[in-house]
Amino acid sequence: MRQYAGNRVGLAVVGTLLLGAGAYAWLRGQDRLDGLPSRAKVLPERTAHAVAEQSWALWAVALVLLVLAFVTLRWLLLSLGWGRRGARSGTGTAMLCVGLKDVEGLARATVRVVGEATRLRIGLTCPATADVGSVATKLDREIVSRIRREVRDDDLAAIVRIHVRR
């Protein structure tokens, strides 16, 4: 299964641009940029007066930007894989998909090896039209034991989570 690097590249580009804009604004506010007069206008005069009269507007903008920064940081950490337990097993995932090839609309199937290969975490998302009982029976009788043997051995503990979409 392919990991998408677009999230990370997009976040890096946007983060770099925002960091540069923030550094420029800070340096401009501290009057540390050479070649610019200290009274050079950044905003049009009408906008500057409107903002100066309503000081809450700047606090609201700062709060929105702070929330946006936290959401972006969370997105980055999740796209890097932090917070997820274990390592993906491509072989196990392939075996899971092959074993459940007759299930229509299978949306997501993952197999992770957690710890020092002490446990398997198998996740499966199927549509509401699927016969969940037969899927669970097939997993219990055939597929999980095959994945255990392929990944490590038959003594490996396994947790299977089946999510049914509505």
Cα dihedral sign for 131, 119, 97, 154?
negative
What CA–CA distances, in Å, run from 94 to 1, 73, 99, 140, 147?
9, 32, 9, 17, 9
Cα dihedral sign for 139, 142, 146, 152?
positive
Domain with CATH 3.30.300.20 in the chain: 87-164
Task: Quote the pLDDT of residue 2.
Answer: 45
Q: What percent of the chain has pLDDT over 90?
A: 7
What amino acid is encoded at 134 in this protein? S
Which tokens hold the place of 99?
């074993």
For residue 3, what pLDDT band results from cuts at 50, 70 and 90?
Answer: low
Highest mean pLDDT among 28-32, 36-40, 146-150: 146-150
What amino acid is encoded at 21 in this protein? A
Collapsing DSSP states into helix, strand and coil, what is residue 164?
strand
Domain 87-164: give its CATH code.
3.30.300.20
**pLDDT, average across residues 62-80:** 86
